[in-house]
Structure 1
Amino acid sequence: MLYLPSSRIRELLKVEQAGVWLDRSSNTKELWMVAKLPMNVIRAINAGALVLLGSWVVEIDGKRVAAFGFRVDDNPQHPTLYFGACRSTEQVEDLRALLTTTWFPLQVHNETFLPVLHADCRIVPERARPVLDLLPPVGDSPATEQRELRVRALDVIAASVEPDAVPDARLRASCLQPLVFERTQSLKSYVPGTGLVCLDDKDEGNELERLGFQAFDHLCPFGAFHQPLVESGGKRRELCDILAVSRIREQEDEGIFVVQSKVTSATPESLGRTDARRAASIQKNILCAVGQLNGAIRRLRAGDRIFRADGTSVEVDPPVPDLKGAVEPLNIRERASKVGHGIVLVSDMHEGVDWKAVARELIHVGKAAGYLCHVLDLRELQRLVSHSAGRPAMLERYLTQRWQLMVQPKSALVRSQFLR
């Protein structure tokens, strides 16, 4: 069954890092649940991680707020909650319709808002009866502009799912029930310059690289290179996973972006790993990638020749009509001499990682290399690129602000928020 998102959901998929929403398909008006989740979480769901459908009613200042979402047990010690509050009477009524049915269709999108998973989901309506009985009646739901009220309600819900949660009288009703997935289907999307994106791809590392490259290729046309090569001892080897540079500079001191990616595998076997083992593995990979970035930046600043994966020099443009006058010539050594950005792109910003130790290494390597170094996951990168509005100089500004936030508390666990 084909799902065509409404204009509201299309916008949310673009601007939100993650979320769960209800939508009436534009082609059939059937009620769908739509989610935007990190690719590693989607892979965990596909590998068999338990998913619970949550629904809640919270009373704040005499107003009832309805909310719903997913809890994904991809990490047994720290399950992840994706949820939001209803903003209108119509959304409350859609939630009421969902909770009274026995099944509904679900479509899941990744960080770059590509659809990657479809499933028919079964629930037991009787389990949600306490929530249904207290859903706000027509006209009682908070107005769209009452954002503060919704935020306070969501804080109550977030606190209620913590292991040591204290009962809160404001939480009037709640329900967490398992989702039974039936007729799941992996959806395939072909992206020019990136290739096929689907859950059937077993090379998760290359997939993360390609999705990261997609973001930089959009931001830096004719200046983004996947798996560029450098000459070393008469041979050519991979310099980094992604190299990107603006070809239309707004400022003279614009530098380059050097990216090394590290993925955390999401398989049925990996779901059973302890929290400590998972965090230790991620931290080890991050520190390894920081060292690789340091080496790549040194080669760039030394003026070593850089080649595309097909062996052609990155400083020789493809034969595209009128390209020569549209973009400035590419001088990698000159651009590498500016203050650039080294990025470790990861699939999981796991909270169990010692992010202070990671920050110390990023600051140390960055100081030696003359670059600002960061750790981002794909949804953070996509969010920053999206808000850069096609301007690499704006991405540099956002990354610089993010780096400043990292060095103040000396923790590399930083999340960007853009207020609308």
Structure 2
Amino acid sequence: MKSSENLFISDIPNTTDWKPLKNHYITSHATSSLIDLFDQDEGGQQEQIGIWLTDNLHPRGVFHSPKIPDGKKLRELTDILFSHEYGSILIESKAISLTTRASLPNRSKLARDVSSHIAKAAKQLRGGIRQLKQNTLVFNDAGIALDIERTKPMHGIILIPDLDLVENRALYGTRFITDFMSATGSFIHILDTSELLRIVQAAEMIAARGKTTTPMMAFDYYLVERARKSAEAETLCIEVLLRFADN
């Protein structure tokens, strides 16, 4: 190794014996959530990121791929589900799965894929919210029935890799919003992982400034306020930054 006041030069051994780094997050309900950068299941990895972010809000529990009865079998209700006393949140995660393709698609193709995913996710969220309002039993992986708030307005979140991939934002404007709200009585949001992180951080900051406000209450409140901003902007594809004004 050579070094000077502002420069370090080091010889790195030549090796092909690289080991993947796997990170396990233990949730508040003692479940293991794995992030593996070498995993080709990009959709599954995006779901795990959603769990990592939202579990920090300390809800009743963040449930990955909860199930509902379908005849003699069980089927998935939604990708991620969590709730608190004032409402429930359902997340449908849609990735674009680049590593499994033979060639890298152009941006127009990616934008078309994202639009298709958003339409499918909105339909799935409608169905999931309807099942909850019908008091359909929901189970975790261990087959235990979950305690989910079903009477208050819910939030349906479509989680995508990058909001910049949504080229025609007018598609997700007033009509898209009102159709979803009329059908479900719930709010609809389109977020990418960066925006979800910002909302979680905003909720934590709001809760820290209050005496009785929990992070989940603040998260719910922030989503409602964000929905109002979306209605004003006439599109769900917005980014919101929280700032506190000094008294």
Give TM-score, length-normalised by structure 2: 0.80
Structure 1 segment 46-85 matched on structure 2, within 5 A: none
Q: Which amino acid aligns with 2:143?
A: G
Alpha-carbon distance change, 239 to 265 in structure 1, aligned in 2, over 3 angstroms:
same
Which segments of structure 1 move beyond 4 Å, counting only runs of 4 or more?
183-186, 268-271
Query: C-alpha deviations, 1:153-212, integer Å up to 9, x for none?
Result: xxxxxxxxxxxxxxxxxxxxxxxxxxxxxx997543221134331211111111111111
Aligned residues: 223
Whether 1:340 aligns to 2:163 is: no
What does residue 227 of structure 1 align with? Answer: 65
Displacement of 1:295 in angstroms is 0.3
Structure 1 segment 12-411 matched on structure 2, within 5 A: 187-192=21-26, 193-246=31-84, 249=85, 254-267=86-99, 269=101, 272-315=104-147, 332=148, 335-359=149-173, 360-389=175-204, 391-411=215-235
Q: 2:103 & 2:165 partners in 1: Cα distance? A: 16
Verify the 8 A CA contact 2:41 2:97 in the aligned structure 1.
no
Query: C-alpha deviations, 1:87-109, integer Å up to 9, x for none?
Result: xxxxxxxxxx68xx8x79xxxxx
Q: 1:209 & 1:352 partners in 2: Cα distance? A: 20
Q: 2:40 & 2:194 partners in 1: Cα distance? A: 20
Verify the 8 A CA contact 1:363 1:407 in the aligned structure 2.
no
Consecutive unaligned residues of structure 1, counting only runs of 5 or more, are: 1-29, 31-96, 105-119, 121-182, 316-331
Name the Cα RMSD after superposition. Answer: 2.8
Alpha-carbon distance change, 227 to 411 in structure 1, aligned in 2, over 3 angstroms:
same
Displacement of 1:352 in angstroms is 4.3
Q: Which amino acid aligns with 2:69?
A: E
Q: 1:271 & 1:363 partners in 2: Cα distance? A: 38
Verify the 8 A CA contact 1:287 1:358 in the aligned structure 2.
no
Query: C-alpha deviations, 1:41-91, integer Å up to 9, x for none?
Result: xxxxxxxxxxxxxxxxxxxxxxxxxxxxxxxxxxxxxxxxxxxxxxxxxxx
Q: Which amino acid aligns with 1:339?
A: P
Q: Which amino acid aligns with 2:48?
A: R
Consecutive unaligned residues of structure 2, counting only runs of 5 or more, are: 205-213
Verify the 8 A CA contact 2:34 2:48 in the aligned structure 1.
no
Moved more, 204-213 or 183-192: 183-192
Q: Which amino acid aligns with 1:343?
A: I
Alpha-carbon distance change, 300 to 352 in structure 1, aligned in 2, over 3 angstroms:
closer
Alpha-carbon distance change, 408 to 223 in structure 1, aligned in 2, over 3 angstroms:
same
Displacement of 1:411 in angstroms is 1.3
Percentage of identical aligned residues: 28
Displacement of 1:311 in angstroms is 1.2
- The SS at the match of 1:273 is coil
Q: Which amino acid aligns with 1:273?
A: P
Verify the 8 A CA contact 2:33 2:51 in the aligned structure 1.
no
Give TM-score, length-normalised by structure 1: 0.49
Q: 2:166 & 2:156 partners in 1: Cα distance? A: 23
- The SS at the match of 2:188 is strand
Q: 2:64 & 2:226 partners in 1: Cα distance? A: 25
Q: Rg: which structure is higher?
A: 1
Verify the 8 A CA contact 1:194 1:210 in the aligned structure 2.
no
Alpha-carbon distance change, 184 to 280 in structure 1, aligned in 2, over 3 angstroms:
farther
Task: Flag the structure with more relative contact order, 1 or 2, with Cα contacts below 8 A and sequence separation at least 6.
Answer: 2
Alpha-carbon distance change, 391 to 280 in structure 1, aligned in 2, over 3 angstroms:
same
Displacement of 1:220 in angstroms is 3.1
Displacement of 1:367 in angstroms is 2.2
